[in-house]
Structure 1
Amino acid sequence: MNPVYTRVAIDYSPMDATKVFVKDASTFSASSLLRQRDPKSNRLHHFKRELVRLSEAVGSPRVPVFVRWPNAGRLRMDKGCLAQALESGFILDLTNGDGGFVSHVELAESKDS
């Protein structure tokens, strides 16, 4: 099953050459993420800020993994960033959606970066 991209009204804010969203339409299961360490990296902090912005734009702590940005087109959350956000407790445990892959993530209650 192909992912559905959620259109948002905010621009993607990339961080230099480091990407926290990637041009990759491949899907993945919740169990496929590798453990990541480095909860204080600038990349992770940038990713968390983008998740908070997305949460505000969609009006929910549940945000789409596949996003259609006005200035960047169709992008998917980077799996390494997702794993780091999960390890740091910023997002809740990942679950597979109806299509058998991770389509959304949910921010934990505390959105401090």
Structure 2
Amino acid sequence: MLKMGTRLKVLRVFKALHRTRMTVFKDDDRALTAARLKINEEFKKNKNETSEENVQEMIKMGRAVETILRENVMQAEHIGEKTLVLRPRESNLLDNMPYCDAPRKKT
């Protein structure tokens, strides 16, 4: 039997994955459905796991997946045969350091 704290952690990861899915795949019903089915399938497949160590590893994996989805996945839509429109979220937009061709002077 798992500790109550562990059960809460599992539930938090489950909810975080679904919230992230809703943001990352916003307005894409096909991707939303596929992600929902995959998340639910993985949690159902492992719902009878009793090893605390294995559950902790799965929690780490779930958090890593949520982070990857949130930070690295970007929506794109075909609008023509050879044209895509990217729809970055605010979290995908990073400040870039300006590039400088001039070599640095050694001090």
Tell me the TM-score range normalised by the shorter chain: under 0.3
TM-score, length-scaled by structure 2 = 0.24
Higher radius of gyration, 1 or 2: 2
Q: Which of the two has greater helix per residue?
A: 2
Q: Which of the two has greater strand per residue?
A: 1
Structure with the larger RCO, 1 or 2 (CA within 8 Å, 6+ apart)? 1
